Amino acid sequence: MSALDFILELGVEEIPASYFGPAMKYLQERLTNELTLAKLSIAKAQVWSGPRRLAIGLWGLPASQEDQVEEVIGPPLTSAFDANGNHTKAALGFAKGQGVSASDLFTVNTPKGAYLAVKKNHEGRPTAQALTEIIPAILESLPFPKIMRWGDGERQFVRPVHWVLAVFGGEILPLTFCGVKAGKVSYGHRFLHPGAVVITTPDEYPTRLAEAHVLADFQNRRAMVVKEILEAAQASNPDYKVAMDEDLIDEVTNLLEEPVAILGHFDSQYLELPAAVASTAMKERQRYFPITDSQDRQAPYFVAVNNTRALDMEVVRRGHERVLRARLEDARFYYQDDRKTKLADRVEELKGVVFHHLLGTSWEKVTRFKELALGLAALTSPDQKAIIARAADLCKCDLVTGVVGEFPALQGYMGREYALADGEDPEVAKAILEHYWPIRSGGELPTSVAGAILSVADKLDTIVGCFSVGLLPTGAADPFGLRRQALGVILIALDRQWSWSLEDVIDKTIIGLGALVKTPAKEVRQKTLEFFKARLKNYLQKTLKVAPDTAEAVLGLYGHNPPAAVGRAVALEDLKSRDGFKDLAQTFKRVVNIIKKFGARDEVAPLTLLTHPAEVLLRQATEVISDEAQDLLRQNDYQGLLSRVTTLKGPVDVFFDQVLVDDPKPELKNARVALLARVSQIFELVADFSRINAT
């Protein structure tokens, strides 16, 4: 059977840059999965995207599905024939219902006994028919954050659809999407090649569009963006460097079809602004790339990337410079106006800033997490209390400044700048900046103790506060970024090796929220702790590549203490990779199962009754390792702890070989179970081995 190729493209109005990644991943995965379910194989799939198009190519599709033979089970043999060996009504009815004669029926043996059956041949559907049914449903379900309606309001998609290119095996696929019938026509660059482009195969798709001034492949277009930026920057000074923000490069790439970069200049007077103010004005508002000198200082140049090469690029340059000048002038006005008021004098203004209508003002929030932070400092760094107290008072004050109002991404940064300008302690200023960290997944962690403690306190107040008033994240939405903030708390605790209990800190946070708590405190504590455990489990599995059973075994006992959980999980995962672990785990699980069976007997049991050599050996080994284990735990030496704990396997195996736990004498049985309970307690210094997969 000959293989055929398929090309699909939606032509739309410009799509927001951030929408492409999830949508294109979904399109490829969902379409290939649906084809697999339809028993249609492909040799290759590739997606393309641009501001005005979404496309996917499939290679090596069959012309139709393979014919399928289905075995349909009918009535049991016991009810299929009468006493004379003739088919019963049940058998005849089954045959009629399947569209065959009784002579086509045959017997099959199943686990439930013998049954009548019939084979039915299903002719494979044409692939074109399957694609026509599959594709519209997939397009309608693409995961865009927002959709819009247009025309008569009946049609809805991320943006209005202007054309649909759908060609299978050289023929137009007869489908319609959002009222637009499919054809063989795409369109090039809106200005440089607005006319139609005929495309019939995925192989010619990128080439034909490139001829029409559209680079359809994201990676190729991104490489062109980088090349254009670097070449434009060379026009300023060979020693100058471009601030190559990777996220900004991705965003710009998704906004362009054929990138053209140009160097711009601005007045040096704006270099008097804090560096981040000018660069933020360029990057966030204009999507320009700042340029720095050999000492990483802001230079009075920038690079703008355009979607069109104009006849006179000097006009384009002046346009960019004029727009940026207005942005920088606004920033300078706000900055100069902000400097008229000290940061400390803005504290009262926070009383008018609502954090959330269920959780009070920003001033109230600061008051809460300041007390929580001072409590954490008492546990870890009492000498930092004064810095923490002052930084807490000031850390949200930049929210009411003009610069942060204009550029919200500068919160924290401007707080530090204004604090330094006001003569505050540099450590206080650093904590003001760092209390927001980490800002994103993989972002920087606080480098100062005060910043780390304030960050944890602020994030805990937000997380526990939201759980207290029912603002819970869902699988589809997390508007307050609680998952990110919980991971931030965990990463800071790991970085600092803080061993305080999450459960205790959550309780303190609940107390601080006071009358704002609308959910029973016990429920808030439980849900919040489970939420943190889920983030910690995800971190163990996704980042540290710890197996699910290892994560469960550790988190069941130490999920409240991130450093303790991570240290044990990493050590245990390493042990699992070694020879003999399965036997070791089976031995440990046997101990746990016996305790569960007979009920744990604690230290009150008379262990002096245990005189058998195997019992004495195990008891002595337990006592020695118990003492050593505490020293290893104080040193956070989890590898060493596991090494010592595993030496119990020998004495435990000897004990099971030579001693009957379920002794007829109750006092002896209790003593033996009590000994095993002590062994189990040592195991639990590492993990709950009953959750380890030892098969």
pLDDT value at residue 634: 87
Average of pLDDT values for 375-401?
96
Residue after which a domain boundary falls, among 164, 195, 211: 211
**8 A C-beta contact, residue 415 and residue 333:** no
Q: How confident is the model at residue 602 (pLDDT cuts 50, 70, 90)?
A: low
DSSP assignment letter at 346? G
pLDDT value at residue 298: 92
Spatial separation of the C-alpha atoms in residues 588 and 683, rounded to whole Å: 7
User: In whole angstroms, what separates CA 341 from the centre of its chain?
Assistant: 41
Helices (H), 150-274: 205-211, 218-233, 246-253
Structural domain contains residue 552: no
Residue that the structure tokens 């000074």 belong to: 237
DSSP assignment letter at 299? E
Which residues does residue 10 pair with via DSSP β-bridges, in sequence order?
A: 54, 164
pLDDT value at residue 604: 54
pLDDT value at residue 683: 87
Which of 130-144, 501-515, 555-569, 574-588 shows the lowest mean pLDDT across its residues?
574-588
3-state secondary structure of 690: helix
**8 A C-beta contact, residue 251 and residue 287:** yes
Average of pLDDT values for 353-378?
96
Other CB atoms within 10 A of residue 544 CB: 13
pLDDT value at residue 109: 87
**Tokens linked to 348:** 């009262």
Residue that the structure tokens 């530090």 belong to: 416
Helices (H), 64-158: 89-97, 127-140
Give Dmax over CA atoms of the chain in angstroms.
108
Q: What angle do CA 488, 492, 494 make, to 5 degrees?
A: 115
Domain total for the chain? 5
**8 A C-beta contact, residue 236 and residue 299:** yes
Q: Are residues 72 and 31 in the same domain?
A: no
Q: Are residues 199 and 111 in the same domain?
A: no
Structural domain contains residue 194: yes
Task: Tell me the average pLDDT of the chain.
Answer: 91
Average of pLDDT values for 309-336?
94
Structural domain contains residue 557: no
List of residues 6+ apart from 550 with CB closer than 8 A:
540, 569, 572, 573, 576, 687, 692
Q: What is the pLDDT of residues 138-163, one digit of tens each?
A: 999 999 989 998 877 788 899 999 99
**Tokens linked to 132:** 């026509």
Spatial separation of the C-alpha atoms in residues 254 and 51, rounded to whole Å: 6
Structural domain contains residue 245: yes
Which residues does residue 181 pair with via DSSP β-bridges, in sequence order?
A: 176
Percentage of residues in the chain having pLDDT higher than 70 = 98
Q: Are residues 49 and 184 in the same domain?
A: yes
Tell me the HSE value of 312 on the side-chain side, using a 13 A CA sphere: 4
Q: Are residues 117 and 132 in the same domain?
A: no
pLDDT value at residue 266: 95
pLDDT value at residue 667: 86
- Comparing CA positions, the residue from 43, 46, 48 lying closest to residue 20 is 48
Q: What is the pLDDT of residues 27-50, one digit of tens each?
A: 999 999 999 988 899 999 999 999
Q: Are residues 575 and 536 in the same domain?
A: no
Q: Are residues 386 and 521 in the same domain?
A: yes
Host H or E run for residue 533: helix 521-538
**8 A C-beta contact, residue 19 and residue 159:** no
Residue after which a domain boundary falls, among 275, 309, 338: 338
**8 A C-beta contact, residue 273 and residue 328:** yes
Q: Are residues 385 and 513 in the same domain?
A: yes
pLDDT value at residue 517: 94
pLDDT value at residue 329: 95
Which of 37-51, 128-142, 236-250 shows the lowest mean pLDDT across its residues?
236-250
Q: How confident is the model at residue 112 (pLDDT cuts 50, 70, 90)?
A: confident
pLDDT value at residue 106: 84
pLDDT value at residue 78: 84
Full domain range(s) for residue 82: 68-122
**355 vs 476 pLDDT, higher one:** 355
Structural domain contains residue 559: no
pLDDT value at residue 479: 87
Q: What is the pLDDT of residues 435-460, one digit of tens each?
A: 999 998 889 999 999 999 999 999 99
Q: Are residues 396 and 501 in the same domain?
A: yes
Spatial separation of the C-alpha atoms in residues 1 and 123, rounded to whole Å: 15
Tell me the HSE value of 495 on the side-chain side, using a 13 A CA sphere: 21
3-state secondary structure of 327: helix
Which CATH number covers residue 669?
1.10.730.10
Percentage of residues in the chain having pLDDT higher than 90 = 67
3-state secondary structure of 302: strand
Spatial separation of the C-alpha atoms in residues 71 and 607, rounded to whole Å: 66
Spatial separation of the C-alpha atoms in residues 175 and 167, rounded to whole Å: 10
Helices (H), 269-384: 275-280, 313-338, 362-380
Average of pLDDT values for 498-517?
94
User: Is 184 a residue whose pLDDT tops 90?
Assistant: yes
Q: What is the dihedral of CA 257, 260, 263, 269, to 10 degrees?
A: -20
pLDDT value at residue 160: 95
Q: Are residues 673 and 601 in the same domain?
A: yes
Q: How far apart, in Å, do the first and last CA atoms of the chain sit?
A: 45
List of residues 6+ apart from 269 with CB closer than 8 A:
none
Q: Are residues 331 and 443 in the same domain?
A: no
Which of 102-106, 130-134, 547-551, 648-652 shows the lowest mean pLDDT across its residues?
102-106
Q: How confident is the model at residue 124 (pLDDT cuts 50, 70, 90)?
A: confident
**8 A C-beta contact, residue 195 and residue 202:** no
Q: How confident is the model at residue 279 (pLDDT cuts 50, 70, 90)?
A: very high
Structural domain contains residue 346: no
**8 A C-beta contact, residue 444 and residue 480:** no
pLDDT value at residue 394: 97
Q: Are residues 85 and 54 in the same domain?
A: no
Q: Are residues 409 and 502 in the same domain?
A: yes
Does a cis peptide bond (omega within 30 degrees of 0) precede residue 75? Answer: no
pLDDT value at residue 304: 96
User: In whole angstroms, what separates CA 330 from the centre of its chain?
Assistant: 37
List of residues 6+ apart from 606 with CB closer than 8 A:
667, 671
Spatial separation of the C-alpha atoms in residues 225 and 248, rounded to whole Å: 11
Q: How confident is the model at residue 605 (pLDDT cuts 50, 70, 90)?
A: low
Does a cis peptide bond (omega within 30 degrees of 0) precede residue 438? Answer: yes
User: Is 599 a residue whose pLDDT tops 80?
Assistant: no
Q: What is the pLDDT of residues 609-628, one digit of tens each?
A: 888 999 999 999 999 998 89
pLDDT value at residue 185: 96
pLDDT value at residue 506: 96
**8 A C-beta contact, residue 499 and residue 563:** yes
Q: What is the pLDDT of residues 614-669, one digit of tens each?
A: 999 999 999 999 889 888 988 889 999 988 888 888 999 999 999 898 888 888 88
Structural domain contains residue 348: no
Residue after which a domain boundary falls, among 508, 543, 578: 543
**52 vs 91 pLDDT, higher one:** 52
User: Is 372 a residue whose pLDDT tops 80?
Assistant: yes
User: Is 680 a residue whose pLDDT tops 60?
Assistant: yes
User: Is 176 a residue whose pLDDT tops 90?
Assistant: yes
Structural domain contains residue 270: yes
pLDDT value at residue 601: 55
Strands (E), 457-535: none
Is residue 37 packed enough to be buried (19+ CB in 10 Å), middle (13-18) or exposed (0-12)?
exposed
Spatial separation of the C-alpha atoms in residues 222 and 211, rounded to whole Å: 18
User: Is 115 a residue whose pLDDT tops 90?
Assistant: no
- Comparing CA positions, the residue from 627, 660, 657 lying closest to residue 644 is 627
pLDDT value at residue 102: 83
| Residue 431 region by backbone torsions, left for phi larger than 0, else alpha for psi between -120 and 50, else beta | alpha
List of residues 6+ apart from 213 with CB closer than 8 A:
188, 189, 192, 193, 257, 258
User: Is 1 a residue whose pLDDT tops 60?
Assistant: no
